[in-house]
Amino acid sequence: MLSLKKLTWEVLVSASINVSAPGKLMLFGEHAVVYGYSCIVTAVDQRVYVKAGFNGKDELVVNAPQLGVSGYRKKVDRLCDQEMPKQVSFIEAVVRRFYQNYGLVRGLEIATRSDFSHSYGFGSSSAITMATATALSKLYLIKLSKKQLFDLCYQAVLDIQGVGSGFDLAAALWGKTLLYKKGARLVKKMILDQLPIVVCYSGVKADTPTLVRQVAEFKRKKPRKVKQIFNKIEQLVLQTEKVIIQKDWQGVGKLMNTNQRLLEDLGVSTLKLEKLNKTALNAGAYGAKLSGAGGGDCMIAVCLQSKRDAVEQALIKAGGEIMPVKLNSKGVTWQKK
Ligand code: PMV
């Protein structure tokens, strides 16, 4: 006869869902996108994985060994009701939103793992949120449209972060490379079979909400100046869409450099990022810019294949860490086990 413990595990395993969702890389239009302008984001081949199943209890149990979370427990009617470790806050928030929206409250066992460290700024929190929401919809057999899934996750992310455009959730959900507007008001898949870029981590972890609030403060003080910057960013994002399709990498590089200067005007760049950009340009890249909120995380540079090695070596010498990521990856996927 099976013991109760074994039986619970059998139930969990038989009904568990495995989901994976990609991380993201912001290519153009960061910050302006928070105010309703367009950005270009791509899904990367580094993914997060969520395994979820019912546990027959009245608790949410989370295991995320890479984040130092083991056997974290919370009663299902107490989700988000007190300080939570940051690592599980997005999971708690999205489970709570799901329960609220669909009135279904059962204990869950959730395990996560990731291809990449959350330090790199590839959007692991958003990818985990999207993977968890997808797992819940499959476990409960609730058919959600992509927009419903997006909205559920966007609410959860705003519950935790308070700010953001949702571009990272869009990349996790739809995958590929997207022309995107806040709240998924525009989600247009771009035709992009390649974009020869080098991705380099600056060694400094950035805090996105802090930088978004910093820009909000700057906008409050200098509304006209910031509006002008955002308008210029919008124009270059729309130009980039065309230039990428033509595979005009030199043109893409020029637009990258312009976007970088506008981000410097916004006050979100750093000396380290600028040093890495300059290094890439000196080594033969067509263009370089920071990617994401600024303050640290990654920079990207566009260069021909023939220059890639020289650009990468120069960046390493300047203190950067090359991230071997591929762009234009598949959005969220799931499997029943
Ligand atoms: O720091 P990242 O890579 O998460 O990018 C933030 C991009 C912002 O436009 C600054 C914020 C947002 O939510 O769009």
> In the structure encoding, which two tokens stand for residue 48, read together?
């997060």
Atom of ligand 1 nearest to the CA of 122: 3
**Which residues, 6+ apart, have CB-to-CB distance to 309 below 8 Å?**
none
Ligand 1 mutation target, pool 168, 200, 226, most atoms within 8 A of CB? 168
Tell me the residue range of the domain where 290 lies.
197-322
Nearest atom (ligand 1) to Cα of 29: 9
Mean of pLDDT values over 115-123:
81
pLDDT for 116: 80
Nearest atom within ligand 1 for CA of residue 268: 10
As a whole number, mean pLDDT of residues 123-152 equals 96
The structure tokens 């303050």 sit at 295
Q: Which protein residue has the closest C-alpha to ligand 1 atom 13?
A: 164
125: CA distance to ligand 1 center in Å? Answer: 12
Q: How confident is the model at residue 10 (pLDDT cuts 50, 70, 90)?
A: very low
Residue 175 domain flag: yes
Position 32 confidence tier, pLDDT thresholds 50, 70, 90: very high
- Mean of the pLDDT values across residues 31-52? 97
Q: At 114, phi and psi to the nearest 5?
A: -140, 145
Same domain for 284 and 174?
Answer: no
Looking at the fold, whether 127 and 102 belong to one and the same domain comes out as: yes
The DSSP letter of residue 175 is: B
Dump pLDDT digits (tens) for 143-160. 999 999 999 999 999 999
Last residue of a domain, one of 191, 221, 248: 191
Average pLDDT, the chain: 93
CATH of residue 24's domain is 3.30.230.10
Q: Which value, to the nearest 10 degrees, does the dihedral of the CA atoms of residues 216, 238, 39, 186 take? A: 110
- Report if residue 329 sits inside a domain: no
State whether 176 and 249 are in the same domain. no
| 168 tagged catalytic | yes
pLDDT digits (tens, 9 = 90+) for 285-301: 999 999 999 999 999 99
pLDDT at 200: 97
Residue 6 has a pLDDT of: 45
Among residues 191, 222, 255, which one ends one of the domains?
A: 191
Distance in angstroms (rounded) separating the CA atoms of residues 108 and 262 = 46
Q: In terms of domains, do 137 and 255 share one?
A: no
Whether residue 247 sits in one domain with residue 185: no
Give the active site residue among 58, 81, 115, 168: 168
In a domain, 113, yes or no: yes
Q: How many domains does the chain have?
A: 2
In a domain, 332, yes or no: no
pLDDT at 181 over 50: yes
**Residue nearest (by alpha carbon) to ligand 1 atom 11:** 164
- What are the DSSP calls for 77-144, one per residue? GGTTSS---HHHHHHHHHHHHHHHHH-----EEEEEEESS-GGG-S-HHHHHHHHHHHHHHHHTT---
Among 158, 191, 224, residue at a domain's last position: 191
For residue 169, what pLDDT band results from cuts at 50, 70 and 90?
A: very high
Mean pLDDT over residues 238-248, rounded?
Answer: 94
Verify that 203 and 306 share a domain, yes or no.
yes
Residues with CB under 6 Å of ligand 1 are 26, 30-31, 33-34, 121, 123, 164-165, 167-168, 206, 208, 212, 292-293, 297
Locate the DSSP E strands across the chain: 17-28, 38-54, 59-64, 69-75, 108-114, 177-181, 186-189, 197-201, 287-291, 298-302, 321-323, 333-336
CATH number at residue 268: 3.30.70.890
Residue 293 CA to ligand 1 centre (angstroms):
5
Q: Using the mean position of ligand 1's atoms as its centre, give its distance from the Cα of residue 43 in Å.
A: 14
Is there a single domain that holds both residue 290 and residue 218?
yes
Strand partners of residue 326:
none
Q: Over pLDDT 90: what percentage of the chain?
A: 86
- Cα of 145 vs centre of ligand 1, distance in Å, is 25
Q: Are residues 21 and 149 in the same domain?
A: yes
User: 120 and 23, same structural domain?
Assistant: yes
CB atoms within 10 A of CB 323: 18
Instruction: Tell me, yes or no, whether 92 lies in a domain.
Output: yes
Looking at residue 72, its pLDDT comes to 94
DSSP 8-state code for residue 32 = G
The amino acid that residue 13 corresponds to is V
Among 257, 266, 265, which residue's Cα sits nearest to residue 299? 257
Q: Please tell me the distance between residue 283's alpha carbon and the centre of ligand 1 in angstroms.
A: 28
- Residue 151 inside a domain? The answer is yes
User: Quick one: which atom of ligand 1 is closest to the CA of 126?
Assistant: 4
CA distance 313 to 311: 6
Q: Residue 336: inside a domain, yes or no?
A: no
CA angle, 37 as apex, 36 and 43 as ends, to 5°? 100
Indicate if 182 and 204 belong to the same structural domain. Answer: no
Distance 205 CA to ligand 1 centre (A): 13
**Cβ-proximal residues to 47 (8 Å cutoff; 6+ apart), any chain:** 20, 21, 22, 23, 114, 115, 127, 329
Co-location of 179 and 208 in the same domain: no
Predicted local distance difference test score (pLDDT) of residue 312: 98
The first and second tokens of residue 104, run together, are: 């279904």
pTM of the complete model:
0.93
Considering only CA atoms, which of 168, 261, 257 is closest in space to residue 208? 168
- DSSP codes, 229-252: HHHHHHHHHHHHHHHHHTT-HHHH
Same-domain pairing of 166 and 221: no
Which atom of ligand 1 is the closest one to the Cα of 206? 1
Is residue 229 situated within a structural domain?
Answer: yes
Residue 287 dihedral angles phi and psi, to the nearest 5°: -165, 160
For residues 101-115, average pLDDT: 92
| Beta-sheet pairing, 59-64 with 108-114 | parallel
Q: How far is CA 9 from the centre of its chain?
A: 32
